Amino acid sequence: MSYATLTFWIFLIISLAGLSLSPARLRGIWLTIVSLWFYASVDPMRLAWLGGVTGLTLWAAGIWHPPYARAVRSTAIALLVMLLIWAKFSDAMGLPDPKAPPGLSFLVFTAIALIVETARRGTAWSVPESVLHLVWFPKILAGPIERPGDLIAQFPAIGIRPGLMGLGVAFIVTGLVKKLVIANALAPVVDAAYAIPSFATPVDLLVATYAFAFQIYCDFSGYADLALGLSALVGLRLSRNFAQPYLSPTVTEFWAERWHITLGRWFRDYVYIPLGGSRRGRPRQMANLMLVFLLSGIWHAGLGYGVGWGFLIWGVLNGALVIAELWVPRPKGRLAHILRTVLTFHLILVTWVFFRAETPSDAVTILMRISAILSDLPRILPTYPFTPDQRFGAVLVAMLLVLEILNQPRPLAERIAQAPLPLRWAGLYIGMAALLLFGRWQDAEFIYAGF
């Protein structure tokens, strides 16, 4: 069910109306029902996947009697990982396509976290609480990857609360603007240049590379804003997944604290730290960091991308940058901070080329063609015939950056929700006007729902 359709907004109204009429003890069950409705509306077979992952998770999280509990949890986690590998790499391994539903990897990550955190807690959460934690619809397609201790603790307070309604609406509006106005406006700029890099001009490739950095940011963070907003409407606060990532002064901070934050914490807590983290010397720390980024690259591969060598190279490059920063001190002073932020952005930008290009060979072609004209850019750019899409995209990106700089470290939606009433309504009206005038509603599929 697409967020850009009338069907979804009717579904949301019905969901909120049902919630407001439900007694407090049944509100969680109602949200579980509407979540299953949302997920199965496109293909009822998705319920089979959901039921399999949920059943396996509940089984593993409910076994406490030694000596079987540890073996059961390990077996369940191994089965979940194998299921994910099959779903993502069936074509590369010559196996039948299991027709995995969108968002499967986010569901599996959440399930593994639930199994591990249940073991650490010492007692299981109830079945209704665990099921709602897994299937809550705003986050099921692309996160955030919530921890049960954070989300389930809020379930007793589920309900429509005026204090959170305003915040929810603000997040929904900013999320839709990021996706439908900015990301969808940048998509044709990227697609046109990256389709056949050898035929595109170097300037078009350069513009497309910058455009993709903001396309994927607005696409992914737009979904995260929608998830936060829809959850706030029913009294739930999801974890923040993005924090002005392109204003990060280091690559390490970019991945640890600003971009897809909940996935970074998942890898930190369930892979990096169990492997020893930084406690076993620098060589072991470097190996652990590289493994985490390699796994992140593998996670993006598959699902029709084949082996996905570009994603693996992207992961290795980012791992190498984070490892290199172990010997580089953080910038001190405002000028150093600004210069390092610009450098960090462009290092990330280079790695995005391997993420977006069809093949590693295309990525190398793009980087070589761009590098060949860098020295001539001051002469070329003033007279270059930029397309209307490129000019409009540049204006949108500039406005986004200004807003992010002015509002950091808070999200824009929080600033709008906490503003005086006239400014709050002005912000919402500007966002809705942007959606009506510039929104491209025909393409509402989110990039990360495919992972």
Active site residue ranges: 300
Closest CA to 112 of 81, 136, 133, 67: 81
The overall longest dimension of the chain from CA atoms, in Å, is 74
- For the chain, first and last CA: distance in Å? 17
How many beta carbons lie within 10 A of that of residue 294, not counting itself? 15
How many beta carbons lie within 10 A of that of residue 175, not counting itself? 24
The token pair at 4 is: 């850009």
* DSSP-based three-state secondary structure for 291: helix
Q: What is the DSSP annotation of 157-218?
A: G-S--HHHHHHHHHHHHHHHIIIIIIIHHHHHHHHHHHHSTTTS-HHHHHHHHHHHHHHHHH
Omega before residue 385 within 30° of 0, cis: no
d(CA 315, CA 292): 9
Alpha helices in 249-387 (DSSP H): 251-253, 261-267, 282-300, 309-324, 334-356, 360-373, 377-380
Radius of gyration in angstroms for the set of CA atoms belonging to the chain, rounded to a whole number: 22
Burial profile 37-46: b = 16 or more Cβ within 10 angstroms, e = fewer: ebbbeeeeeb
d(CA 417, CA 21): 26
Cβ-proximal residues to 131 (8 Å cutoff; 6+ apart), any chain: 32, 54, 58
Cβ-proximal residues to 180 (8 Å cutoff; 6+ apart), any chain: 4, 222, 435, 439, 440, 441, 444
d(CA 395, CA 402): 11
Burial of 415 (0-12, 13-18, 19+ CB in 10 A): middle
Alpha helices in 258-308 (DSSP H): 261-267, 282-300
The token pair at 32 is: 């579980």
The token pair at 28 is: 């969680």
